[in-house]
Amino acid sequence: MKIDKRDWIFIAMVVVVLGIFVWISGKEKTTTVPRDAMHQVSYDAAFKNAPGPDASIFKRAFFKPDKKGAEVYCEPCHREKEVPFPPNHPPKNRCLFCHKLKK
């Protein structure tokens, strides 16, 4: 296959788009969910179906934590413990879209 000038422009565009993508995703700064005893219940809920270390590589690669299952605990406990939300906190349904779980 011959790569002509139009192809190179296309390739350059793909590279630029990918570059912007990587750049944006590196900007994530929202605080992560602390990995402490307090938050263990959320981690347990998220990873309750996690494949074990000897499961196949595909099972591990495609595993998604049960975020909805973990989120049910967030707000009630934060309310009970009176953890303050910053005054201009965005809408709070789906905590884990913004506050990532630690690995």
Enumerate long-range contacts of 42-46, CB under 8 Å, 24 or more apart: 42/70, 42/71, 42/73, 42/74, 42/101, 43/70, 43/101, 45/69, 45/70, 45/72, 45/73, 46/70, 46/96, 46/101
**Binding flags for ligand HEC, 38-77, as an x/- string (CB under 6 A):** xx-xx---------------------------xx-xxx-x
Range 9-38, binding ligand HEC (CB under 6 A): 29-31, 33-34, 36, 38
Q: Enumerate binding residues for ligand HEC (CB under 6 A).
A: 29-31, 33-34, 36, 38-39, 41-42, 70-71, 73-75, 77-78, 81, 83, 85-86, 89-90, 92, 94-99
